[in-house]
Amino acid sequence: MYQTEIECLAEMLGQADAVVIAASNGFDIADGYNQFACDEAFLRTFGDLHRDYGLMSILQGLMARWPSARERWRFLARLIEYGYRAYAPSPVMRALDEATRDMPRFVVTCNCNSRFLKAGFSSDGLLETEGSFARLHCTASCSQETYDALQMIDIAAGDLPRCPRCGAVLDAAVDDTGRIGALEPFAAQRARMRAFLDGHASDRTLVLELGVGQGNRAIKAPLMAWAERAPGTRYVVVNRDEPVLPALPENRAVGIRGDLARVLADLGMAQNR
């Protein structure tokens, strides 16, 4: 059954006019970045903060009320270095790139590390629904602008990055409440996503959902609703849990339950046969 599903996915990709890649925490974990874990990589990077503050995960660090802006930036500077600047595409990311690069594609993700950009995916084909710590915004909200984190911080010096407009401290442009979505470039990303979906609504578009939570309302729910309205769209869910599929005919919706790394590796072999 598994091999049949892989071959079906390969056939759908081969017939597709465009692909929408939906990626969430499951994809991040397969890519080697686990924001929930107090694992070896976390302790190697944030071990002193673990000892000093009991920090147990990247997510906790992003949400924490740090005692000062300097202590928050003690965490953020290291996160930007580890999670973004030092990133090299994993086998999982390379396999996804190779499987989809020959057609129009758009990535929508709630992962906040801009790794798709580092892996060579186009900035014109990316929506980061919860922002990215590769971008910084003014804590005084003096504008809708964000700034390239790598140009605004000096990790070695440990200086606080400041807004070039008003001088307030900058912070990571990450938020799951929707507020970050009003800032640039995220508002422009959302507009390009709408244009991509509108432009391919009548095409044979494949939605490839990778490691998205079954109750995800930011990515999964709207994409399933769109697929149900777009007559030529096919939808594939890859998840370690039992896949939840849109209300489509069986020949247009496939669920693959398994390890993302294995699925993408097997997909590559099926495409090359």
DSSP readout, 193-253?
Answer: HHHHHHHTTTS-EEEEEES--TT-TTTHHHHHHHHHH-TT-EEEEEESSPPP--S--GGGE
pLDDT for position 159: 84
Query: Cα separation of 57 and 34, whole Å?
Result: 8
For the chain, give the percent of residues with pLDDT over 70.
99
How remote is the C-alpha of 235 from its chain's centroid? 18
pLDDT tens digits along 194-210: 999 999 999 999 999 99
| Residues 183, 184, 188: CA angle, nearest 5 degrees | 110
Instruction: Give me the chain's average pLDDT, please.
Output: 95
Each residue's pLDDT tens digit, 145-183: 999 999 998 765 678 999 999 999 999 999 977 788 889
154 contacts: CB under 8 Å, gap ≥ 6: none
CA distance linking residue 141 with residue 131, whole number of Å:
15
pLDDT in tens, 4-42: 999 999 999 999 999 999 999 999 999 999 999 999 999
Query: Averaged over 239-243, what is the pLDDT?
Result: 92
Query: Contact at 8 Å (CB) between 134 and 80?
Result: yes
What is the per-residue pLDDT for 156?
55
Give the pLDDT of residue 60. Answer: 97
pLDDT of residue 176: 76
pLDDT of residue 155: 60
Q: Please state, in angstroms and rounded to a whole number, the distance separating the CA atoms of residues 93 and 151.
A: 25
Tokens of 7: 């071959």
Phi, psi of 23 (to 5 degrees): -130, 135
Determine the length of the chain: 273
Provide the pLDDT for residue 141. 94
pLDDT at 27: 97
Where are the alpha helices (H) located in the chain, listed in sequence order? 2-15, 25-30, 40-53, 58-63, 69-80, 91-100, 115-118, 149-152, 186-199, 220-229, 260-272
135 close to 184: Cβ distance less than 8 angstroms: no
Comparing C-alpha atoms, which of 131, 139, 165 is closest to residue 66?
139
* pTM for this predicted structure: 0.95
